[in-house]
Amino acid sequence: MAKLILILGDQLSPALASLRDVGPDDLILLAEVNAEAHYVKHHQLKIVLIFSAMRHFAQVLRDQGFQVHYIDYLQQTPSLYDAVAQTFSANPQLQSLVVTEAAEYRLQQEFTTFEARLQKPVTILEDDRFIADHSMFQRWAHGRTQFRMEYFYREMRRYTGLLMEGSQPCGGQWNYDADNRRQCPSDVIAPAPLWQQPDAITQQVIELVKTEFADHMGDATTFQYAVTGKAARSAFLHFLEQQLPQFGDYQDAMRTNDTFLFHSVCSMYLNIGLLDARWMCQKVDQAWRQNKVPLNAAEGFIRQIIGWREYVRGLYWLLMPDYQQRNYLETKTPLPSFYWHGKTQMHCMQQAIADTINHAYSHHIHRLMITGNFALIAGLDVQEVSDWYLSVYADAFEWVELPNTLGMALFADGGVLASKPYAASGNYIQRMSNYCQSCRYNVKLTVGDKACPFNALYWDFLARNENKLGGNARLQLAYQQWRRKNEETQQQILAKAADLLIHLEQL
């Protein structure tokens, strides 16, 4: 019986479960549909990446002899369901539908309605591109009142054997996080990532995006990311050789006009299926065993993939759909418009947002400790902040974006994902970057016209949320420092913060 196989824009992996059993009469469907292109206002570069990678993947499948039906954006197909229904109508020989489960809750829910609506058998296969399957994560989470990435990560190290000597972690320590926090001196030059010149297919997509998504963030004509598995693997191997040796030391560092530093810029490839997580981690493990990279770099990188990436995915599926509604700190301040246009006098924010606009990318510490930290301490609306992160990054898909934004950056889940809010004053930013040297604001000041906004907002955040956070063991030192200030100083700081919050747009 001939079947229809639907492949999503983030399922562009030859080893995908639904591509393992394709017969000569089966038809593979890829579709650029309105609902997916518009559920948030995606960055132009993100749309180019996904549409171009889909078109290249379709070409690879055709070259391998498969029958492929491709619906492009200009056909204005409303949804994936419509794309599937139309394809069945035009191909009455097709008897059933096969899909690999969607990575996002929203789509997976929609898939479960397909069988009744289509009146055809629908098979939904598990997505085994992730290392921990749903049942493994559920077993790990079962009975725990608190989830902590570190314990999950150790289990994943044992399970995969990565950086292990028998049952023990290589080097005797599970985690070299403390060795990942060096400042990056100005004489350390970070090699550029490996860029790709757009080919004819990508050029066509760039033209489409320029016309159809003209009012979205970014400039499609600057696109230079990989759009095939082969090019993405080359980009990763380039990182392995050029950046990974120093990735460990400078993982948390930030520098003016240095967008990528020693980061891999691979999340967007990994999330749409152009790279395979196991392959990447094995390459890193091998590089360490061959003495090509230090342990703090290899461990730091592998922790991000088999630790954080798998952990947030597990939590997402464990806690959705309620998770999406959480707003523990009851924040509701609207997102200031500079998040969209980047025009702010706060140099750190300007840099992080400029990277976002120019590249649909910023590295983790920008997302967490600059734009995320500001959103946290200013009490910005959780939904608006989440929508922003989901729109502006090329790697943004809800399963990974939501736990990172709502849980890690905004503490809106009340501590499910992180044991304390990642709130920081300007001090942290000064320590980890050179931004404060060229800022209109003075990082040493908390009140007055020149004071760094992060300072008063940080103290105000603690004071404002004392009833909810005052008992958090990891915040005791911060609260002690706050309580040690005399009342007059506290009042001045709170007044400054109140003024900042009224004038966020002018910062």
SS3 state at 430: helix
Q: Does 233 bind ligand FAD (CB under 6 A)?
A: no
The amino acid occupying position 339 is Y
Q: Does 328 bind ligand SF4 (CB under 6 A)?
A: no
State the minimum distance, in angstroms, from the CB of residue 442 to ligand FAD: 27
Question: Cβ-count burial of 423 within 10 angstroms (0-12 exposed, 13-18 middle, 19+ buried)?
Answer: buried
Cα(first)–Cα(last) distance of the chain, in Å? 63
Per the document, the length of the chain is: 507
Question: Quick count: other Cβ atoms within 10 Å of Cβ 28?
Answer: 22
Question: Which residues have C-beta within 8 Å of that of residue 13, sequence separation ≥ 6?
Answer: 19, 129, 229, 273, 274, 276
Q: How far apart are CA 460 and CA 465, in angstroms?
A: 8
The residue from 50, 94, 149, 348 that contacts ligand SF4 (CB under 6 A) is 348
Q: How far is CA 352 from CA 254, 267, 342, 374, in A?
A: 9, 17, 8, 11
Say how many residues touch ligand SF4, by CB under 6 A. 14
Q: How far apart are CA 10 and CA 456, in angstroms?
A: 42
In our burial notation (b when 16+ CB lie closer than 10 A, e otherwise), range 313-326 reads bbbbbbbbeebbeb
Q: How far apart are CA 262 and CA 278, in angstroms?
A: 21
Binding mask 207-236 for ligand SF4 (x = CB under 6 A): ------------------------------
Q: Does 435 bind ligand SF4 (CB under 6 A)?
A: yes
Closest CA relative to residue 70, chosen from 61, 18, 238, 78: 61
The residue from 33, 232, 400, 451 that contacts ligand FAD (CB under 6 A) is 400
Nearest to ligand SF4 of 239, 374 (CB atom): 374
Nearest to ligand SF4 of 7, 369 (CB atom): 369
Q: Does 357 bind ligand FAD (CB under 6 A)?
A: no
The residue from 363, 417, 451, 459 that contacts ligand FAD (CB under 6 A) is 363
Question: Quick count: other Cβ atoms within 10 Å of Cβ 27?
Answer: 20
Q: Does 443 bind ligand SF4 (CB under 6 A)?
A: yes
Q: How far apart are CA 283 and CA 290, in angstroms?
A: 10
The amino acid occupying position 449 is D
Nearest to ligand SF4 of 119, 257 (CB atom): 257
State the minimum distance, in angstroms, from the CB of residue 365 to ligand SF4: 13
Of 177-185, 211-219, 277-285, 427-435, the segment contacting ligand SF4 by CB under 6 A is 427-435
Q: Does 347 bind ligand SF4 (CB under 6 A)?
A: yes
Question: Which residues have C-beta within 8 Å of that of residue 139, sequence separation ≥ 6?
Answer: none
State the minimum distance, in angstroms, from the CB of residue 409 to ligand FAD: 4
The amino acid occupying position 325 is Q
State the minimum distance, in angstroms, from the CB of residue 400 to ligand SF4: 27
State the minimum distance, in angstroms, from the CB of residue 127 to ligand FAD: 15
CB 507 within 8 A of CB 499: no
Q: Does 364 bind ligand FAD (CB under 6 A)?
A: yes
Nearest to ligand SF4 of 411, 454 (CB atom): 454
Binding mask 302-341 for ligand FAD (x = CB under 6 A): --xx--xx--x-----------------------------
Q: Which entry of ligand SF4, ligand FAD, none binds 405, CB below 5 to 8 A by partner kind?
A: ligand FAD
Beta bridge partners of residue 451, listed in sequence order: 442
Q: Which entry of ligand FAD, ligand SF4, none binds 396, CB below 5 to 8 A by partner kind?
A: ligand FAD
The residue from 73, 152, 399, 454 that contacts ligand SF4 (CB under 6 A) is 454
Q: Does 409 bind ligand FAD (CB under 6 A)?
A: yes
CB 453 within 8 A of CB 507: yes
State the minimum distance, in angstroms, from the CB of residue 365 to ligand FAD: 8
Calculate helix-pair angle for 134-141, 149-160, nearest 10 degrees: 130
Q: Which entry of ligand FAD, ligand SF4, none binds 316, CB below 5 to 8 A by partner kind?
A: none
Q: Does 17 bind ligand FAD (CB under 6 A)?
A: no
Q: How far apart are CA 368 and CA 168, in angstroms?
A: 31
Q: Which entry of ligand SF4, ligand FAD, none binds 401, CB below 5 to 8 A by partner kind?
A: ligand FAD
State the minimum distance, in angstroms, from the CB of residue 250 to ligand SF4: 19
Q: Which of residues 237-276 bind ligand FAD (CB under 6 A)?
A: 263-267, 270-271
Q: How far is CA 285 from CA 157, 158, 438, 447, in A?
A: 11, 14, 40, 49
State the minimum distance, in angstroms, from the CB of residue 420 to ligand SF4: 20
Nearest to ligand SF4 of 265, 346 (CB atom): 346
Beta bridge partners of residue 442, listed in sequence order: 451
Q: Does 346 bind ligand SF4 (CB under 6 A)?
A: yes
Tell me phi and psi for residue 503, to 5 degrees. Answer: -110, 30
Say how many residues touch ligand FAD, by CB under 6 A. 28
293: its two tokens: 């990279």
State the minimum distance, in angstroms, from the CB of residue 488 to ligand SF4: 24
Task: Report the half-sphere exposure of 316 (CA within 13 A, side-chain side).
Answer: 24
CB 220 within 8 A of CB 211: no
CB 404 within 8 A of CB 111: no
Q: Does 386 bind ligand FAD (CB under 6 A)?
A: no
Interacting residues with ligand SF4 (CB under 6 A): 346-348, 426, 429-430, 435-436, 439, 441, 443, 452-454
Interacting residues with ligand FAD (CB under 6 A): 263-267, 270-271, 301, 304-305, 308-309, 312, 363-364, 367-368, 372, 389, 393, 395-396, 400-401, 404-405, 408-409
